[in-house]
A and B are shown apart, each in its own frame.
Chain A
């Protein structure tokens, strides 16, 4: 009889886990319901390029130039002029109170300056407390305002003439030309949801046995550390697989996320990712003394991985040391893989290194867990 591994004993542990999983209805429902709920909620809610933001207009006159300027700003989609302020003070108050994100001031001499050929000015004040809100709206401004003015003056041809021979910058927004946030968010959510459920569930694995007093019995019977580990993580691999299917189908049907790359490649990468997560959770459970501690450790890991992985904030925007730190989270590598495969149609050559990273995590976590596992009650 083999002391280290036997399929019969692993089978015993797996059957036991699946029965327990089935009996624990609420947890089971959570494992399938929560991913879908989160996907729908966050998928629809999160928008990194906000449009139709409330704006206040302070216009001293209502000449054609002013009107042209206002309508041009409105057509960008970023501004929604739902406040008209009579004075600069009133506009100031609106912004301070947070009623508007922008105040657009068109001075009384705007039309006169345009006609005289003086350089006309308009003032746009943006509430930049949250830089993300203001950036999109501001970036489009220069060109929009100029074109509107030219159109109002009927000088488009002249301007085009003048522009000939000048430097032209061509910008291609690749993989997501319309700049739809969901294309970025939804594949990322797949990783976040998997991380949340997989790590937390498996982090409870051993501590639950300890707290219920069943650990003593399990250790007194002939089950090896490898069998116990696999018996605990494999059922969650199955749950993870179901979650992946649910999220991917919803991504396609609900959000119309393009699916450019190979599905097989994506699923294989997801499998490695989930494996690294359940092993991470299991490692946590070999360290924690109680389910409470396991929860705390999970959250301790969870927040930095969410913030530093590039899910919430651009990875490249972080300082060098933070990028290095971000590399130690499986989520970071998984995000690169999903975004690359789903949106860019990357092949294995392009993401091989990232998958390699995930495999390193699998080996490291499994090794740590096995080393940490105490075979006795000492």
Chain B
């Protein structure tokens, strides 16, 4: 049985369709990365799944419970970490956890809180006001609070935004540890390195699900070709390449230039021209990265938030 099994989800705010026909399945124990640019509908989709929003169209189950009729059961079994820190800043860490423990009716409260504090290394800060914590510690507290009741599914909405690399690394280690214990995780993120730590990824843009699969599958299915250019005066080469047929992306990486295109033949023809025009430039085949794929997706999808232009 899939932990998340939703299909055809549609959510509109006014005349804006924020989530447009989203279908998603997540199996037990999987860590699925939910990717997409800002305002692409990630948060809305997650909120629908945890019962905070009712979809305008579409059906589905989360943990076997209907998302329309059983949202209360879902709330009890799911751990949801909001994008913005949403615990009480005027309560201490321990008080926040006690509050959550009591709300989930975990007994005895003290024991649950003490163990959670211990597990996440928060014991020494238990009496610190949550409002005075730095980003990384706030994130730890939020994670601690949403896994305390031992949910079967974790929904994390950009959990590592504004968190330093070390804290991010520790956070992901923790996520993998939890997943190995059978927990299913759906995590939205902007970071490519985080996407690569997921078992599977789903890419959503302007409300539409554009790709789903493992990182390799997504890269492969995108059908992009990448070449790496080396040589002198690459900035001029880059300018020369812009806008040529077959060239979709030109991006400098250190001393090299990555050129990406969806039509291999056209791209090769363009590069052959440039090689002739600029002496000393060498072209070699490169590996298409997840980032290349996402940028391709982003430039290719229509912005449904912008006002439709009259023809």
Nearest chain B CB to A188 CB, angstrom units? 35
Do A222 and B76 touch across chains, with their CB atoms under 8 A apart? yes
Do B103 and A221 touch across chains, with their CB atoms under 8 A apart? yes
Nearest chain B CB to A29 CB, angstrom units? 16
Q: Mostly helix, strand, loop or mixed at chain A's interface?
A: helix
Nearest chain B CB to A261 CB, angstrom units? 42
Do A12 and B99 touch across chains, with their CB atoms under 8 A apart? yes
Choose one: B53, B71, B87; the contact of A214 (CB below 8 Å): B87
Chain B residue contacts of A113, Cβ below 8 A:
none
B244 within 8 A of A: no
- Comparing B44-52, B233-241, B285-293, the segment that makes contact with chain A is B44-52
Choose one: A11, A20, A213; the contact of B82 (CB below 8 Å): A213
Q: Which of A172-229 contact B (CB under 8 A)?
A: 212-217, 219-223
Q: Which of B32-73 contact A (CB under 8 A)?
A: 47, 50-54, 71-72
B284 within 8 A of A: no
Choose one: B71, B84, B91, B100; the contact of A221 (CB below 8 Å): B100
Do A222 and B98 touch across chains, with their CB atoms under 8 A apart? no
Q: Which of A311-333 contact B (CB under 8 A)?
A: none
Choose one: B50, B85, B91; the contact of A220 (CB below 8 Å): B50
Nearest chain B CB to A95 CB, angstrom units? 58
| Most chain A CB inside 10 Å of its own CB: which residue of B72, B82, B86, B95 | B86
A253 within 8 A of B: no
Chain B residue contacts of A219, Cβ below 8 A:
52
A45 within 8 A of B: no
Chain A residue contacts of B105, Cβ below 8 A:
1, 6, 8-9
A378 within 8 A of B: yes
Q: Which of A4-60 contact B (CB under 8 A)?
A: 6, 8-9, 11-13, 15-16, 19-20, 23-24
Do A220 and B75 touch across chains, with their CB atoms under 8 A apart? yes
Do A220 and B95 touch across chains, with their CB atoms under 8 A apart? no
- How many A residues face the partner with a CB closer than 8 A? 28
Measured in the bound complex, the distance between the Cα atoms of B80 and A1 in whole Å is: 21
Do B52 and A376 touch across chains, with their CB atoms under 8 A apart? yes
Chain A residue contacts of B75, Cβ below 8 A:
220-222
A162 within 8 A of B: no
Do B91 and A16 touch across chains, with their CB atoms under 8 A apart? yes
Do B86 and A217 touch across chains, with their CB atoms under 8 A apart? yes
A377 within 8 A of B: yes
Nearest chain A CB to B66 CB, angstrom units? 15
Q: Which of B69-125 contact A (CB under 8 A)?
A: 71-72, 75-76, 78, 80, 82, 84-91, 95, 98-105
Chain B residue contacts of A376, Cβ below 8 A:
51-54, 71
Measured in the bound complex, the distance between the Cα atoms of B84 and A6 in whole Å is: 28
Q: Which of chain A's residues has its CB closest to B77's CB?
A: A222
Q: Count of A-B contacts with CB under 8 A? A: 79
Interface size grouping (class) on chain B: 20 to 34
Chain A residue contacts of B47, Cβ below 8 A:
377
Measured in the bound complex, the distance between the Cα atoms of B65 and A3 in whole Å is: 15
Nearest chain B CB to A328 CB, angstrom units? 35
Do A216 and B103 touch across chains, with their CB atoms under 8 A apart? no
Nearest chain A CB to B270 CB, angstrom units? 48
Measured in the bound complex, the distance between the Cα atoms of B244 and A6 in whole Å is: 67
Measured in the bound complex, the distance between the Cα atoms of B53 and A219 in whole Å is: 10
Choose one: A11, A216, A222; the contact of B104 (CB below 8 Å): A222
Q: Which of chain B's residues has its CB closest to A10's CB?
A: B102
Q: Which of chain B's residues has its CB closest to A21's CB?
A: B90
Do A220 and B72 touch across chains, with their CB atoms under 8 A apart? no
Chain A residue contacts of B95, Cβ below 8 A:
16, 19
Do A12 and B103 touch across chains, with their CB atoms under 8 A apart? yes
Do A220 and B84 touch across chains, with their CB atoms under 8 A apart? no
Choose one: B72, B85, B88, B90; the contact of A222 (CB below 8 Å): B72
- Taking A213-B86, A221-B104 as contacts, is the C-beta distance between A15 and B98 under 8 angstroms? yes
Nearest chain A CB to B92 CB, angstrom units? 9
Do A378 and B102 touch across chains, with their CB atoms under 8 A apart? no
Chain A residue contacts of B85, Cβ below 8 A:
213
Do A16 and B104 touch across chains, with their CB atoms under 8 A apart? no
Chain B residue contacts of A20, Cβ below 8 A:
88, 90-91
Measured in the bound complex, the distance between the Cα atoms of B104 and A153 in whole Å is: 91
Measured in the bound complex, the distance between the Cα atoms of B86 and A215 in whole Å is: 8
Q: Which 6 residue pairs of A and B lie closest in terms of their CB atoms, listed nearest first? A: A12-B102, A217-B86, A220-B80, A213-B86, A12-B103, A23-B90
19 contacts between A and B (CB under 8 A): A1-B105, A9-B102, A12-B99, A12-B103, A15-B99, A19-B91, A20-B91, A24-B90, A213-B82, A216-B82, A217-B80, A217-B82, A217-B86, A217-B87, A220-B80, A222-B72, A376-B54, A377-B52, A378-B54
Other A-B contacts than A12-B101, A376-B53, 19 sampled, CB-CB below 8 A, are: A1-B76, A9-B105, A12-B98, A16-B91, A16-B99, A24-B90, A213-B82, A214-B86, A216-B86, A217-B82, A220-B80, A221-B104, A222-B103, A223-B103, A376-B51, A376-B52, A376-B54, A377-B53, A378-B54
